[in-house]
């Protein structure tokens, strides 16, 4: 009499092998945006302020800084981030910056992306140039990372002029058309201090903003979220918006949120306000390793089924 093939032990063996095959350290890939109030050399020379900004930036694979008014402040921050004796992690950081943008010499600002060299690289940058569209026109950057499920994506920052917030947020749709055509890539994320709440953008204003009207755009930071520090305000000024379901599916569910560093770092409100009046916003992208694990597991389960069918026929 023939022996019955040991189906269950074989399946368990293959599953164990699959876990070893795809075992890989998976880490979050975090994108952040932080409006630092008038970030200049004087602010960067304040050790307490610099320490706070550094702790915020070092949490993120890519961090957008807004309201940078002096490029030497970024240099100081990068030196501190990359100083081996003072690191929070094992990453190296670089930056990519716009030129100074604004309508008046006294209010010129830069958009600055600080990113982890080991996890992501810059594949393109583009300054939006349409005149009279924005006080601080968006500076789009295309990034690429093998560590995330959606490997090529475009980040478009906006620090909106409060009095023109409705018009500037609406014109982001024109920026989307330009950059997505330029790079043949519709995986676009808008982020920054839009002033998209309270008196600057009301519920009635939304009908005049294409990013609200078109269903292909997803607002990840909702209207009722407070992105401010002061207890006297409750406004969703800072936002993250993504285009398209492929990009949306590449985002870890419920990961878009405010990072309340005042509570996390146990700072007095008065000290936090020396850094900014705004809290950072952030979102996490799914790891490419998770997709590899799921795909490999399905393949091995399929192989297991085929082998068992073969053994059953013997």
Range of the domain at 43: 29-293
pTM here? 0.85
Task: Tell me whether residue 90 is in a domain.
Answer: yes
Neighbours of 88 (CB within 10 A): 11
Per-residue pLDDT reduced to its tens digit, 274-283: 999 999 999 9
Q: Return the pLDDT at 86.
A: 60
Assess if residue 210 is contained within a domain: yes
Given a cut of 90, whether residue 155 has pLDDT beyond it is yes
Residue 88's pLDDT is 63
Torsion of CA 85, 48, 29, 96, to 10 degrees: -90
Query: Is 307 inside a domain boundary?
Result: no
Paired with 287 in beta bridges are: 148
pLDDT at res. 21 = 41
- Whether 180 is covered by a domain: the verdict is yes
Q: Is residue 302 one of the residues assigned to a domain?
A: no
Is residue 268 situated within a structural domain? Answer: yes
Q: Which of 137, 77, 131 is nearest to 108 (CA)?
A: 137
Provide the number of structural domains found in the chain. Answer: 1
Q: Is 244 left (phi over 0), alpha (psi -120 to 50) or beta?
A: left
Distance CA 206, CA 162 (A): 15
Could you tell me if residue 3 is inside a domain? no
Q: Is residue 73 part of a domain?
A: yes
**175/201 Cα distance (integer angstroms):** 20
User: Using one digit for the tens of pLDDT, what is the confidence trace for 193-207?
Assistant: 999 999 999 999 999
| Least confident interval from 18-32, 65-79, 117-131, 265-279 | 18-32
Assign residue 225 the CATH number of its domain.
3.60.10.10
């Amino acid at each position: 009499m023939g022996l019955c093939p040991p189906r269950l032990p074989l399946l368990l063996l293959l599953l164990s092998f699959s876990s070893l095959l795809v075992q890989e350290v998976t880490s979050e890939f975090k994108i952040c945006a932080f409006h630092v109030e008038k970030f200049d050399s004087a602010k960067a020379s304040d050790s307490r302020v610099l320490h706070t900004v550094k702790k915020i930036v070092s949490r993120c694979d890519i961090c957008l800084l807004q309201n940078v008014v002096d490029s030497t402040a970024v240099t100081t921050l990068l030196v501190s981030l990359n100083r081996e004796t003072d690191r929070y992690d094992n990453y190296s950081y670089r930056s990519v910056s716009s030129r100074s943008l604004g309508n008046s010499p006294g209010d010129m600002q830069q958009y600055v992306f600080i990113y982890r060299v080991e996890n992501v690289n810059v594949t393109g940058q583009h300054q939006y140039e349409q005149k009279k569209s924005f006080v601080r026109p968006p500076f789009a950057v295309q990034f690429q990372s093998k560590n995330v499920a959606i490997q090529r994506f475009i980040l478009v920052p906006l620090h909106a002029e409060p009095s023109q917030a409705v018009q500037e947020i609406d014109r982001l749709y024109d920026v989307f058309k330009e950059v997505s055509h330029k790079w043949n890539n519709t995986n676009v994320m808008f982020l920054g201090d839009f002033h998209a709440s309270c008196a600057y953008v009301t519920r009635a204003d939304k009908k005049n903003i294409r990013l609200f009207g078109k269903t292909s755009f997803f607002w990840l930071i909702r209207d009722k979220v407070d992105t401010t520090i002061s207890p006297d305000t409750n406004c969703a000024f800072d936002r993250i918006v993504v285009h398209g379901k492929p990009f949306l599916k590449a985002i870890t569910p419920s990961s878009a949120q405010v990072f309340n560093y005042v509570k996390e770092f146990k700072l007095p409100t008065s000290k936090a306000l020396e850094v900014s009046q705004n809290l950072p916003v952030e979102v996490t992208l799914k790891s490419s390793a998770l997709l590899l694990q799921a795909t490999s597991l399905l393949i091995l389960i399929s192989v297991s089924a085929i082998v068992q069918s073969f053994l059953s026929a013997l």
